[in-house]
């Protein structure tokens, strides 16, 4: 059998590292029964289009980032909320692997013909801009590109920014032509998409993690024979520590590369500066609760409690 696996990121990205390792492990564990074909970003369409291809079973696997997917599954938008996750990303990784919130979320995916296979952090979201952003007032009228989910758009509107939702593929030209002032993504992505070449500032505020989800089409998943499903479940479980380490390494290495190759100003907000963003950043939570309803609220409350508990351990 051939499993087609589409990425929302280009070759050399965290998602690509995942897919390459996944391919090797699946092909080995299935003893040649399964071939995995990888389609990097650009081959089949935007993130939203990739999700549609999986929903209609035209391809079997894709990454579906909540920053886009929450337009279809508002509950997934929980991963895009600001100041929810722990400052310690190891805590986040642990919670994402265990929390009951993920089971609830999985129901919401199933209703949209998607099987949730994994929740994967890819690093801290970092702002880049043609201006420095150190206090909420600096966001006033700032034309920031966001992913396409309304929850994210409202979160940035809460800061007073002028959010512009766009597909990933349109960000570089938007920045270059000055149609947008800035964008937000993990460091590895800022490097590989060359955003740092057309921006003056890079601001680390640790307001959110970039978290993606790995999905399969429900029909594909339920149609697997027992052996194949076991192989898939085992491999996706065992990939967790692999990709967690990989994303840390990618983000650290690419930061060094950006420092070496450009004179972009890199700013890390102090705890005090970050705290000033908190009340506005948390406005997005209200929008999330409205859009994601009762189940969404329960997912948020459960995650929040699990993060607190894990921080205390
Ligand atoms: O900003 C985006 O749209 C994309 N960013 C990353 C790092 N991965 C996929 C996502 O679609």
Q: How far is the CA of 213 from the centre of ligand 1 (A)?
A: 12
- In degrees rounded to 5, what are phi and psi of residue 131? -140, 160
Q: Is 168 in the pocket of ligand 1 (CB under 6 A)?
A: yes
- The pLDDT of residue 87: 95
Dump the DSSP string for 44-94: S--HHHHHHHHHTTSSSEEEE-HHHHTTT-GGGGGGG-TT-S-SSHHHHHH
**CA-proximal residue: ligand 1, atom 2 (nearest):** 168
CB 130 within 8 A of CB 200: yes
Structure tokens belonging to residue 306 = 């699990």
State the DSSP string of 172-239: HHHHHTTS-SEEEE-HHHHHHTTGGGG-SEEEE----EEEEEEEEEHHHHHHS-HHHHHHHHHHHHHH
Using one digit for the tens of pLDDT, what is the confidence trace for 17-65? Answer: 999 999 999 999 999 999 999 999 999 999 999 999 999 999 999 999 9
> Residue 246: enclosing H or E segment and its boundaries?
helix 226-261
Structural domains for the chain: 2-123+209-253 (3.40.190.170), 126-207+263-292 (3.40.190.170)
Q: Which residues contact 144 (CB under 8 A, 6 or more apart)?
A: 127, 129, 156, 161, 162, 163, 164, 180, 181, 182, 183, 184
pLDDT confidence of residue 4: 98
pLDDT at position 297? 98
Ligand 1 and 186: CB distance under 6 A = yes
Ligand 1 centre to CA of 260 (Å) is: 24
Atom number, ligand 1, closest to the C-alpha of residue 168: 3
Three-class secondary structure of residue 127 per DSSP: strand
Task: Tell me if 280 CB under 6 Å of ligand 1.
Answer: no
- Phi and psi at residue 48, in whole multiples of 5°? -65, -40
Q: Is the CB of 30 under 6 A from ligand 1?
A: no
Distance of CA 49 to the CA centre of its chain: 16
* Measured CA distances, 256 to 123, 128, 177, 269 (Å): 15, 16, 27, 19
Structure confidence at residue 123 (pLDDT): 97
pLDDT value of residue 222: 97
Q: How far apart are CA 155 and CA 157, in angstroms?
A: 5
Q: What is the pLDDT of residue 267?
A: 98
Residues lower than pLDDT 70 in the chain: none
Q: Is this prediction's ipTM beyond 0.90?
A: yes
Q: Is the CB of 115 under 6 A from ligand 1?
A: no
For atom 7 of ligand 1, the residue with the nearest CA is 189
pLDDT number for residue 156: 97
Gap between the Cα atoms of 311 and 182, Å rounded: 32
């Amino acid at each position: 059998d051939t499993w087609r696996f589409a990425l929302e990121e280009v070759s050399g990205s965290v998602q690509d590292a995942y897919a390459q390792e996944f391919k090797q492990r699946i092909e080995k564990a299935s003893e040649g029964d399964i071939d995995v074909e990888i389609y990097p970003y650009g081959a089949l369409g935007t993130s939203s289009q990739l999700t549609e291809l999986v929903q209609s079973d035209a391809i079997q696997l894709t990454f579906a980032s909540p920053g886009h997917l929450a337009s279809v599954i508002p509950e997934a938008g929980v991963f895009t909320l600001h100041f929810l996750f722990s400052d310690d990303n190891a805590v986040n990784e642990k919670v994402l692997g265990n929390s009951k919130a993920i089971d609830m979320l999985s129901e919401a995916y199933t209703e949209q013909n998607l099987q949730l296979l994994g929740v994967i952090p890819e690093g801290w979201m970092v702002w880049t801009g043609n201006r420095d952003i150190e206090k909420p007032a600096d966001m006033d009228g700032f034309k920031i590109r966001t992913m396409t989910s309304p929850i994210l758009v409202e979160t940035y509107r809460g800061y007073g920014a002028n959010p512009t939702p766009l597909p990933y593929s349109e960000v570089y030209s938007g920045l270059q032509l000055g149609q947008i002032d800035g964008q937000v993504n993990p460091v590895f992505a800022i490097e590989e998409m060359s955003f740092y070449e057309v921006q003056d500032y890079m601001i680390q505020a640790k307001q959110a993690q970039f978290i993606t989800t790995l999905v399969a089409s429900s029909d594909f998943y339920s149609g697997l024979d027992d052996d194949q499903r076991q192989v898939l479940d085992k491999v996706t479980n065992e990939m967790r520590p692999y990709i967690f380490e990989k994303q840390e390494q990618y983000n650290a290495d690419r930061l060094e590369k950006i420092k070496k190759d450009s004179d972009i100003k890199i700013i890390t907000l102090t705890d005090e500066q970050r705290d000033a963003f908190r009340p506005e950043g948390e406005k997005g939570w209200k929008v999330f609760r409205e859009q994601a309803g009762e189940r969404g609220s329960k997912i948020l409350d459960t995650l929040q409690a699990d993060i607190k508990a894990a921080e205390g351990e």
